[in-house]
A and B are shown apart, each in its own frame.
Chain A
């Protein structure tokens, strides 16, 4: 089955700096890669996703890149703010609408 590795497990940055979280996956059939943000005690919420026919996608301060050959994808957050502090999970799937295989999460702390 699919195995998703995520690192780092914790990340601390100063407000205004950039944060990068990296994931690798094992199943070459995976072609849908969402990122979820989970604040303490709250539900995971989708923040951005990318499909295998696209190499990069941006949404304001958030961007995701995908290297299908190397089987890795990354989340980039620019101009970080304290409200970006949360746990971020990457996931991989055959397609949206199918079972998601999640990484173990990255706890991001943005200090003022």
Chain B
């Protein structure tokens, strides 16, 4: 599969623990986006990168959230001190400059 790949697909964690998700974009894509989707809602934008530079962050991205794309290829999204409200599907997408964005299948986080 040469599409956007996300790992893990599912993550169950206890409240207060830290979690990290990984996204591998389509290889030639230089833009990478993170979204969060809760049940019955549309995806909500969190942040995006062009190459390794983080160009925009939503106010939804509290200081417990951090995203990196160190070499301009894969990206990680870390959530520290998880809360039950963090339970959601975390979607990654990628695009080449101003072309359409392709989504990964997401990482479903459950905080218990």
Closest to B97 in A: A97
| Contact pick for B103, options A4, A44, A49, A98, CB 8 Å | A44
| Contact pick for B43, options A6, A95, A100, CB 8 Å | A100
Shortest C-beta distance, A11 to chain B (Å), equals 15
| Contact pick for B45, options A96, A100, A103, A105, CB 8 Å | A100
Interface size for B (C-beta < 8 A) is: 25
Q: Inter-chain contact count A-B, CB under 8 Å? A: 58
Known: A44-B103, A96-B99. A105 touches B44 (CB 8 A): no
SS class, residues of chain B in contact with chain A = loop
A61 within 8 A of partner (CB): no
Q: Please state if B91 and A43 are interface contacts (CB–CB under 8 Å).
A: yes
Tell me the bound Cα distance from A7 to B58 in angstroms.
25
Contacting B at CB under 8 A, from A53-82, are none
Tell me the bound Cα distance from A97 to B97 in angstroms.
6
Closest to B59 in A: A1
B62 within 8 A of partner (CB): no
Q: Please state if A43 and B58 are interface contacts (CB–CB under 8 Å).
A: no
Q: Please state if A100 and B41 are interface contacts (CB–CB under 8 Å).
A: no
Which one of A49, A91, A97 has the highest number of Cβ atoms from chain B below 10 Å of its Cβ? A97
13 CB-based A-B contacts, threshold 8 Å: A36-B103, A43-B103, A44-B91, A46-B100, A46-B101, A89-B42, A89-B43, A96-B100, A96-B101, A97-B98, A99-B33, A104-B40, A105-B42
Further 15 A-B residue pairs, CB within 8 A, beyond A42-B105, A102-B44: A43-B4, A43-B103, A43-B104, A43-B105, A43-B106, A44-B103, A89-B42, A91-B42, A96-B100, A96-B101, A98-B56, A99-B45, A99-B58, A103-B42, A104-B42
